């Protein structure tokens, strides 16, 4: 039983058998072409999806960078608005003659009649 027997059976050479063989060959060709088309489609789909995902990730990175830059600029803008407010207050104060006199006495050591100015060094003020 270990040895298989060869069968000497010949095929029928009828038109029906030939048609069936051609149909099997055509079916095999169609299946092979279908597999090629589907594999090509999947390769193209993979390439397109790769480029779409990479562009999405790069756009996301750019967007995050722009958001961070926007927050930084908004913070800087808020600081500048605060400085503008302080400078406008100084402008209003500079229209007051009493403030100008006080500033002149402080910065340029001008004094009123009978007033004595003592200059204390900055280092001693901190201690």
Residue recorded with tokens 């095929």: 11
Whole-number Å distance between alpha carbons of 28 and 40: 18
Could you state, in order of their start, the residue ranges of all structural domains in the chain? Answer: 15-111
Please report the pLDDT score of residue 86 as a whole number.
96
Q: Rounded mean pLDDT of 87-108?
A: 87
Helix axes 15-94, 97-108, angle to 10 degrees: 90
pLDDT digits 0-9 by tens, 37-71: 999 999 999 999 999 999 999 999 999 999 999 99
pLDDT digits 0-9 by tens, 63-95: 999 999 999 999 999 999 999 999 999 999 999
Whole-number Å distance between alpha carbons of 7 and 5: 6
pLDDT digits 0-9 by tens, 6-15: 777 777 788 8
């Amino acid at each position: 039983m270990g040895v298989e027997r060869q069968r000497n059976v010949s095929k029928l050479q009828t038109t029906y058998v030939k048609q069936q063989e051609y149909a099997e060959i055509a079916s095999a060709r169609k299946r092979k072409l279908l597999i090629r088309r589907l594999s090509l489609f999947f390769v193209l789909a993979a390439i397109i999806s790769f480029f779409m995902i990479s562009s999405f990730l790069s756009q996301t990175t750019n967007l995050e960078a722009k958001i961070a830059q926007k927050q930084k600029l908004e913070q800087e803008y808020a600081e500048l608005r605060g400085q503008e407010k302080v400078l406008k207050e100084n402008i209003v104060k500079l229209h007051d003659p009493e403030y100008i006199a006080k500033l002149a006495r402080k910065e340029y050591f001008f004094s009123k009649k009978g007033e004595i100015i003592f200059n204390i060094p900055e280092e001693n003020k901190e201690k």
